[in-house]
Amino acid sequence: AQSVAQPEDQVNVAEGNPLTVKCTYSVSGNPYLFWYVQYPNRGLQFLLKYITGDNLVKGSYGFEAEFNKSQTSFHLKKPSALVSDSALYFCAVRDYNNAGNMLTFGGGTRLMVKP
């Protein structure tokens, strides 16, 4: 079985400050990890993924995420938040051995960046 947890329903940061959105996962094998962003009344958009290799993954819009196997975490980070980053963020996981390539999503974290 595979699962993912996003412990924070909402994260508030001031514009220009660094932001972190937390994600922890559970899989029986090796994980494929993803971050997606959702703007109002839209489908989700891909931000970044970890498959293998360097634990620090860089993605779209200046976001990055660090894979930590010992802590089973994949936190999303950005050095300097923008008001336009305000959105709903989803972490997702897939077990490498998952035959249907099915992703399991976390409950989402709403990021609010204030001017």
- Given the rule CB under 8 A, which residues bind another protein? 6, 9, 32, 34, 36, 41-46, 49, 51, 90, 94, 99-108
Nearer to another protein, 20 or 45 (CB): 45
Tell me how far, at minimum, the Cβ of 106 lies from another protein, in Å: 5
Q: Decide if 23 contacts 106 (C-beta within 8 A).
A: yes
Three-class SS of 48-90:
EEECCCCCEEECHHHCEEEEECCCCEEEEEECCCCHHHCEEEE
DSSP code of residue 96: T
Nearer to another protein, 20 or 46 (CB): 46
Nearer to another protein, 36 or 74 (CB): 36
Tell me how far, at minimum, the Cβ of 82 lies from another protein, in Å: 23
Q: Is 81 exposed, middle or buried (0-12, 13-18, 19+ CB in 10 A)?
A: buried
Tell me how far, at minimum, the Cβ of 21 lies from another protein, in Å: 14
